[in-house]
């Protein structure tokens, strides 16, 4: 298990791969595998069979996982993709933007 600097709800920018340049909101994070699901990024097609009578089968498009190293968090203050730094203020540790130095949490 490793600690990731990206949390659910963060806005990230894809920096490499097929979807390079796309922005999206993080929908889920899996720290054990180091992979995340980003809204409208890495869309995969899943073929489904009808399981019950009256249910339709077909192709379902949904988001696939991508490696956390392929994204950078977008700072809400300066709106630029940035690395994450950590700062301690009043005994509490929080994430901070490396470019503008402002709090992200």
So what's the pLDDT on residue 1? 53
Collapsed DSSP state (helix, strand, coil) of residue 58: strand
So what's the pLDDT on residue 73? 96
Q: Tell me the C-alpha distance between 14 and 19, whole Å.
A: 7
Query: Could you tell me the pTM of the whole model?
Result: 0.84
Domains with residue ranges and CATH for the chain:
11-51+60-97 (2.30.30.30)
Contacts 24+ apart (CB under 8 A), 14-18: 14/38, 14/41, 14/66, 14/70, 14/71, 15/70, 15/71, 15/72, 15/81, 16/70, 17/42, 17/66, 17/70, 18/42
Positions of the chain with pLDDT under 70: 1-2
């Amino acid at each position: 298990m490793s600690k990731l600097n990206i949390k659910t709800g963060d806005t990230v920018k894809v920096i490499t791969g097929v979807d390079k340049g796309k922005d999206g909101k993080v929908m889920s994070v899996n720290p054990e595998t180091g992979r995340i699901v980003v809204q409208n990024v890495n869309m995969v097609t899943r073929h489904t069979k009808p399981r019950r009578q009256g249910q339709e089968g077909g192709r379902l498009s949904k988001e696939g996982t991508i490696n956390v190293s392929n994204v950078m968090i977008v700072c809400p203050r300066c709106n630029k993709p940035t690395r994450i730094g950590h700062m301690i203020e009043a005994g509490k540790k929080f994430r901070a933007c490396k470019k503008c130095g402002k709090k992200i949490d």
